[in-house]
Amino acid sequence: MNAATLPISSSSVPPAAPIRAAALRQALIAGVQRVITHRDRLNRINVFPVADGDTGNNLALTLGCVLSGALQRRAAGVGTLLQRVGEEAVDGARGNSGAILAQFFSGLAEAVGARTVLSQGDLAFATAAAARSAREAMARPVEGTMLSVISAFAEGLRQAAGAGETRAWFEAALVQARQALARTPEQLPVLRQAGVVDAGAQGFVDLLEGIGDFLAGRPPPAPADADPEPEFEALHARLHEAGPQVDPAHRWCTECLLVGANLDRPGLQAALATLGADSVVLAGGPRRLRVHAHVALPARMFELLGGFGQVEAGKADDMLAQARTAAAPRALVVVTDSSADLPEGLADALDLHVVPLRLNFGGEDHLDRIGLSTGEFYRRLREESLLPRTSQPPVGDFRRLFEFLLSHHAEVVYVGLSRAVSGTLQAAEAAARRCPPGRVHVVDSANAAGGQALLALAAAEAVRAGAGRDEVLARLAALKPRTLTLALARDVRHAVRGGRIPRWVGAVAGGLRALPVAVLEADGRLHPRSALFGRRRVPERFAELVARRARRVAAGRGWRLIVGHCGVPEDGAALLAVLRDRLDPVESWLVETGAAVGAHAGPGTLVASLQPVDP
C-alpha cells in the first residue's frame, strides 16, 4: 500500500495535548463496543452488496478479535497500538465490510509507523492515507458504502485539524461522516429502494460515535434507542416480497488468510478477475493478506490462491441461504453439518443451514463439499497415497452461523453428527454456550450420512409446517431410535489405516474376501453386524440385508430412503433400485456420501439410511 511511503505532516497549529496510546486505546474500546452492541440493527438494514443480513455480525466478529486481542494490552506508543490493531483486524476480518475496515486499520498503522504520540495533523494525515489504502484494497470501489464515509471522515479531520481541543476536532469530522452516511441512499439505488442507509457505512459511523461518546464523557445510548422495530419489519416485508437478490455466479462469500514472503497483490487481483470474482477485497500487507471475494466455486478460488501463498482459515458463506433467512424471520431455524448427506436442493427449499467439516490432504486444508467437492475428494483418495483426515468445524464456525441466525430467528436447533464418532457436536455445544441462554438447542443425531440427513430434514419440515421448538425436539426424539443407517465397505484398508478398526479385523476380512456390513446402533457408533462374501451382485445382496433389518425395526411402515455411495454411482443406483422394489419407499434419493464416512470407509462404500414416515 502507498500509505507506507507517505510522510506524516505536522499541523502548523499544535493541539492543546498530543494523542497518546492510552487514550486512543480506551476510545477504540468504546467505539468497538458500540458496533458490537448495535450488530442486530446493522444486520437488519444490510441490503448491499447482497441482502444477506450479516454485516453487523461480520463487523462485530472483526472488531471482536481486536477487542479481545490488541485492545486488551497496554501499548508504549500509538504506533505499536495501531500495528496490533491492524494485524488483529486482518486476521479476524469477516465479510466485505470487515475486510474494508481491516484494511483501513492496517493502512492507518502503516502511515503512523513507530510514532509514540500524534498531533491532530498527524492523525488527520494518517487517516487520509488509510482511506486511500481501504479504497485501493477493493478491485471495484463503490460509492455510497463504508468507503464514502471513511473518506468524508478523513476530510473532516483534515479541515478541522489544529482548530481546538481534540473533542471538538473529532466531533466536526464526525458531522461530515454522518452527512456522508445520510447521502448513501442517493448514491446506491438499492438503498433508496429499501429506505435504508448502507449497513457497513452505518457500522463505521457507529464506531466513530462510540469514540465520540468517550471523548465527550457521555454514557453509551441503549441499543433500543436506535432500533425501531416497525421500520425493520416493513423492510423485511419488502425484501421477502422481492425474494433473495443473489447472483448465482457469486453465491459464495469466500474468505481466507493468505500467507507468504512477498505476496503479489496486483497478480492476485488479476487472477481473481479471471474467476469473475465480485466484491474483491485484499486487506493486509506483503506477508499476510485477508482475501475476500464473492464467487461461484470456492474450491477454484482456494486452489488459485494456493499458487500465491499458503491458504489458511478458509471459509465460505452461502449468501443465497443467508438472504433467504434474513428476508423471512421465523421463530425457529434448523442447522446441521456436512456429515449429513442431504439430497440436492432440499437444504435450499427448507431453509436448512449447513456447517462444513474440515478436510486435510497432506497439509492442505479444505472445507468439506465447498472447498473440495465430494467427487474430487474420491478422485484424490484413489490416486494419491496421502491419507486424508477429517476434523470438526472450529467453534468459531458454529458461533458465527448461530449468531447470524439468532439475529433473524428466535431459536436454533442443530442436528449434529453422532457424538460417539466425532467432536463436532462438542464444538457446537461450546458455540451454543457463548450465545444467549436457551436459544440454541443441540441435538445428537446418534447418526451420520443419510440418517443424519433424514433427521435434519424431518426437523426442517416440521418448522416449515409451523411446529415450535418443543414439538420439533419431541419429533427428533421419536425418530432417532427408528432411523437406520447401514454401511458396506468394499476396502477395509482405509478404516485400518485410520484406526477405525483393528488391523487383525482387516487381515481376517481380506483373507476371507469378506465385505463387512456395519450398523449405526443406539450408541451412535458403527458396529460390524454382518458380512457379504464374494464380489458378485454386491448392491443387490446388500439391499436384501438392509430390507430384512428394516422390516424387523418397523414392519408395515412407509419409508423415506437415502442411498449414498462413495464414488461408485452405478452401484448406488443399483442398490436404490432394489430397495425401492423391496420397501416401496414414500420418498427416496441417491446421493454421494461425504468425506465424514468416505475418509474412513474408502471408495466403493455403500450406505443405506431409512426412516419411517410416522414415528
Residue 213 in any domain: the answer is yes
Find, among 134, 183, 182, 168, the residue nearest to 154 by Cα: 134
Residue 75 in any domain: the answer is yes
Q: Domain of 101?
A: 2-242
Residue 84 in any domain: the answer is yes
AA letter at 439: R
Is pLDDT of 146 > 60? yes
Lowest mean pLDDT among 232-241, 376-385, 541-550: 232-241
Q: Among residues 181, 208, 242, which one ends one of the domains?
A: 242
Tell me the C-alpha distance between 207 and 568, whole Å.
54
Cα angle 343-349-353, degrees, rounded to a multiple of 5 = 75
Domains: count for the chain: 2
C-alpha grid cell for residue 161? 485539524
CB 47, CB 239: distance < 8 Å: yes
Tell me the C-alpha distance between 27 and 50, whole Å.
31
**Per-residue pLDDT tens digits for 67-77:** 999 999 999 99
Size of the chain, expressed as the number of residues it contains:
615
Average pLDDT over residues 205-209: 98
Per-residue confidence at 235, pLDDT binned at 50, 70, 90?
Answer: low
Q: Write the DSSP symbol of residue 226.
A: G
**C-alpha dist (Å) from residue 535 to 22, 150, 488, 505, 604:** 73, 68, 12, 19, 12
Is pLDDT of 615 > 70? no
C-alpha grid cell for residue 163? 482548530
Indicate yes or no: pTM above 0.85: no
Q: Among residues 191, 223, 242, which one ends one of the domains?
A: 242
Per-residue confidence at 598, pLDDT binned at 50, 70, 90?
Answer: confident
Return mean pLDDT, the chain. 88
**Per-residue pLDDT tens digits for 288-319:** 999 999 999 999 999 999 999 999 989 999 99
Is pLDDT of 171 > 80? yes
Is pLDDT of 3 > 90? no
420 vs 50: which has the higher pLDDT: 420
Is pLDDT of 614 > 80? no
Q: Write the DSSP symbol of residue 276.
A: T
Is pLDDT of 402 > 50? yes
Find, among 334, 47, 84, 97, the residue nearest to 205 by Cα: 97
* pLDDT score for 186: 96
Share of the chain above pLDDT 90, in %: 66
* pLDDT score for 236: 52
Lowest mean pLDDT among 153-162, 208-217, 495-504: 495-504
Per-residue confidence at 518, pLDDT binned at 50, 70, 90?
Answer: confident
Is pLDDT of 9 > 70? no
- By DSSP bridging, strand 278-284 and strand 310-318 are unpaired
Lowest mean pLDDT among 12-26, 130-144, 271-285, 395-409: 12-26
C-alpha grid cell for residue 565? 455411495
358 vs 512: which has the higher pLDDT: 358
Tell me the C-alpha distance between 30 and 614, whole Å.
54
* pLDDT score for 462: 97
**Per-residue pLDDT tens digits for 342-361:** 999 999 999 999 999 998 87
Owner of C-alpha cell 465385505: 515
* pLDDT score for 384: 75
Residue 294 in any domain: the answer is no
Find, among 413, 412, 454, the residue nearest to 561 by Cα: 454
* pLDDT score for 245: 63
* pLDDT score for 241: 52
Average pLDDT over residues 476-483: 95
C-alpha grid cell for residue 172? 466536526
Is residue 279 classed exposed, middle or buried when 0-12, 13-18 and 19+ CB atoms within 10 A define those classes?
buried
The torsion of the CA quartet 284, 290, 296, 298, rounded to 10 degrees, works out to 140
Per-residue confidence at 509, pLDDT binned at 50, 70, 90?
Answer: low
The torsion of the CA quartet 295, 298, 301, 305, rounded to 10 degrees, works out to 130
* pLDDT score for 516: 83
C-alpha grid cell for residue 428? 457446537
Residue 561 in any domain: the answer is yes
The domain that holds 538 is classified in CATH as 3.30.1180.10
Tell me the C-alpha distance between 296 and 33, whole Å.
34
Per-residue confidence at 242, pLDDT binned at 50, 70, 90?
Answer: very low
Is pLDDT of 507 > 80? no
* pLDDT score for 2: 47
AA letter at 398: F
490 vs 495: which has the higher pLDDT: 490
Hey, is 361 helix, strand or coil?
strand
The domain that holds 206 is classified in CATH as 1.25.40.340
* pLDDT score for 533: 80
Residue 384 in any domain: the answer is no
CB 528, CB 487: distance < 8 Å: no
DSSP string, 5-29: GPPPP--SS--SS-B-HHHHHHHHH
Tell me the C-alpha distance between 488 and 515, whole Å.
7
Q: Which long-range contacts (CB under 8 A, 24 or more apart) does 347-354 make?
A: 347/321, 348/320, 348/321, 348/324, 350/457, 350/460, 350/461, 350/463, 350/464, 351/321, 351/324, 351/325, 351/460, 351/463, 351/464, 352/456, 352/457, 352/460, 353/318, 353/321, 353/325, 353/401, 353/405, 354/318
* pLDDT score for 13: 45
Is pLDDT of 244 > 60? no
Q: Within 13 Å, how many C-alpha atoms sit on residue 236's CB side?
A: 20
**C-alpha dist (Å) from residue 240 to 197, 253, 383, 503:** 19, 21, 47, 56
Q: Among residues 222, 242, 262, which one ends one of the domains?
A: 242
Per-residue confidence at 279, pLDDT binned at 50, 70, 90?
Answer: very high
- By DSSP bridging, strand 559-565 and strand 587-592 are parallel
**Per-residue pLDDT tens digits for 58-96:** 999 999 999 999 999 999 999 999 999 999 999 999 999
* pLDDT score for 538: 92
Is pLDDT of 191 > 60? yes
Q: How many CB atoms lie within 10 A of CB 435?
A: 16
Tell me the angle at which helices 78-92 and 21-37 cross, rounded to the nearest 10 degrees.
30
Residue 350 in any domain: the answer is no
Find, among 490, 427, 447, the residue nearest to 611 by Cα: 447
Average pLDDT over residues 552-581: 91
